[in-house]
Amino acid sequence: MHISTYLDEVVVWTPAKVNLFLEVLGKRPDGYHDIATLMVAIRLYDTLVFRTAPELALRCSSAQLSSGPDNLVLRAAKLLQERTGCQRGASIRLIKRIPMAAGLAGGSADAAATLLGLNDLWKLGRSDAELANIGAEIGSDIPFFFDTPAAWCTGRGEIVAPAPLSIPLDFVLLCPAFGMPTAAVYKNVVVPPVPVSGNAIRAALGQADVDLIGKLLHNRLQTAAEGFDPRIAEYARMLAKVAPAPAGSLMSGSGSTLFALCRSPDEADRVAASLKTRTKAHDFRLIVTRSL
């Protein structure tokens, strides 16, 4: 996340993420799943603007997104008030660019940005680690955004260990016009008797071996998502056959976004150009981006 403080406002730019690896390890007593995942932040940003105000209020650039108390931004703001005893208000403006219900953690990124921005606006003096712990109470992906650009995340996803990322990674995101309900995807997942290890892809990331990373991409949730909506499988086949062939392709998180991992910005541009010629190109949005 990037934060700028001005005379009367604080602005935070918060990135999306993709999962290069996601394994489901088991069902927890609290109803969640234990996972192991390798996440990378990418240069696709939401922007949040914070100003002092008598009460908490949220405005969103997207009419599809609630600006009520169910929004993670307001939930994060209220939780920060509770945990710090601060009762100051703020007007919050959310400029939405990260697709919603897309497996890119846009909501979690916005919540993390809210904790960071209000910590600055309200002069609370909380550390990133303290803010991450607060965020973990309402969203498993929120702590990751305090440890970008890459991290190995376990537990529900809230236990974060920074991972080395020595070179930028290039991606083409294929964002379908529909979203995926995270809870339904997890409900359909089959926990493997022997989980796939992420050690090899973590090592490949540290060695900056893009081709090997591409071969080791893994997401246990993809099969469950394909069963829930066959269009995910259709788009996955499209990415697998695209020319030039990327290093690999995968669904991010619980979907619906899929991505192609490319070896260079030029290859990413050519992959995106090839995908634009497909007959179903009007059913999805393509985004060419890089890791942070």
All domains in the chain, ordered by first residue: 2-162 (3.30.230.10), 170-290 (3.30.70.890)
User: For this structure, is 187 an active site residue?
Assistant: no
Active-site residue identified among 110, 141, 147, 229: 141
Active-site residue identified among 17, 120, 170, 229: 17
pLDDT at residue 125 is higher than 90: yes
**Tens-place pLDDT, residues 227-280:** 999 999 999 999 999 999 999 999 999 999 999 999 999 999 999 999 999 878
Beta-strand runs (E) in 107-169: 150-154, 159-162
pLDDT band at 82 (very low <50, low <70, confident <90, very high): very high
Gap between the Cα atoms of 163 and 154, Å rounded = 13
Report the pLDDT value the prediction gives residue 64, as an integer from 0 to 100. 86
User: For this structure, is 27 an active site residue?
Assistant: no
pLDDT at residue 282 is higher than 90: no
What is the maximum alpha-carbon separation in the chain? 56
Helix-helix angle 128-136:72-84, to 10 degrees = 120
Residue 184: phi and psi, rounded to 5, are -70, -35
Report the pLDDT value the prediction gives residue 138, as an integer from 0 to 100. 97
Report the pLDDT value the prediction gives residue 51, as an integer from 0 to 100. 98
